[in-house]
Amino acid sequence: MADDIGDTLTALEAVVNDRLAAGDGTASYVASLAAKGRGKIAQKLGEEATETIIAALTEDDAALTGEAADLVFHLTVLLAERGLGWDAVAAELARRHGTSGHAEKAARPQ
């Protein structure tokens, strides 16, 4: 796996898509999770988010890093199961880049 975050996420996404396509839950965690349905993937994402919050508030940097990786991995699975990828997320972040969150919120229709 590459060191660059974009390359890392792209490589992870490719593996996840391969596992989803293969559908062999005995050999693959991704496939076994997907076999339980989108709701289960979403539930796991929520659990990992909670664990990340707890780590941020009570644990050391290594624990927080591990939980953050679990969170991003499960988000990758959820996006892939919906047929989406990090390209779409990156495009949305690029579209927002340079616009202050305060300015964006103030410009929303009332």
Residues that bind ligand PRT (CB under 6 A): 12, 15, 19, 28-31, 44, 70, 73
Nearer to ligand PRT, 29 or 35 (CB): 29
With contact defined as beta carbons under 8 Å apart, do 72 and 45 qualify? Answer: no
Nearer to ligand PRT, 22 or 91 (CB): 22
How many Cβ atoms are within 10 Å of 14's Cβ, its own excluded?
A: 12
Q: Report the nearest approach of ligand PRT to the CB of residue 52 (Å).
A: 12
Q: Report the nearest approach of ligand PRT to the CB of residue 61 (Å).
A: 18
Nearer to ligand PRT, 35 or 90 (CB): 35
- Burial, 55: exposed, middle or buried (Cβ in 10 Å; 0-12, 13-18, 19+)? buried
CA distance 93 to 99: 10
Q: Amino acid letter at 88? A: A
Q: Report the nearest approach of ligand PRT to the CB of residue 19 (Å).
A: 4
